[in-house]
Amino acid sequence: MFVCTGNTCRSPMAEGALRKLLEKNHSGKFEIVSSGIAAGVGFPATKFAQEAVKIWEIDISQHMSQPLTEDLIENSDLIIAMSTEHYHEVSRINPGADEKTYLLKSFPDMTGFGESVEDPIGMPLDQYNEVFLEIGECLGVNLDQIIKLMEAKSYAE
């Protein structure tokens, strides 16, 4: 699960990016979701977020926002936060989730300290493009480790 603020920009773009990266060899093997610490229910990804992901031929037009909840945290094997604020909110809701929660730009470090992915809300499309490419690069560089963590959790169940 990816976590951001409103679940309409960064986390849906990350969700789409990871699905795309898994498409060739791991399609349908893992459930990828996203949520937001201040998200409403049922809002679409922003138009610019939908546009930015098209760089990788991703469609997030059906995305609907959802708030971060205890159930989502419990049901997630791996949680990747976009900022330290998001990381700490996961920990506040469920202190035991520290063992499966990471900050995207510090992955695979589990301390929750590091640089955040900038929130592009209200910014022009080129800023969304930059944020999406940054998210995609972080996921791509760490893809093997992300897959290993997800596989380890799914085999343990």
Phi and psi dihedrals of 101, rounded to 5?
-115, 135
Q: What confidence score (pLDDT) does residue 41 get?
A: 98
Residues with Cβ within 8 Å of 28's Cβ and at least 6 positions away in sequence, in order, are none
Q: Which residues are catalytic?
A: 4, 10, 119
Please name which of 100, 101, 73 lies closest in space to residue 87, comparing C-alpha atoms: 101
List strands edge to edge, sheet with 79-81.
Answer: 34-36, 2-4, 79-81, 101-103
From first to last of the 157 residues of the chain, give the pLDDT tens digit: 999 999 999 999 999 999 999 998 898 899 999 999 999 999 999 999 999 999 999 999 999 999 999 999 999 999 999 999 999 999 999 999 999 999 999 999 988 889 999 999 999 999 999 999 999 999 999 999 999 998 886 555 4
Report the helix count and the strand count for the chain, using DSSP H and E: 6, 4
| Domains of the chain, start order | 2-156 (3.40.50.2300)
Q: What confidence score (pLDDT) does residue 86 get?
A: 98
Q: What confidence score (pLDDT) does residue 12 get?
A: 98
Q: What confidence score (pLDDT) does residue 152 get?
A: 82
Q: What confidence score (pLDDT) does residue 154 get?
A: 57
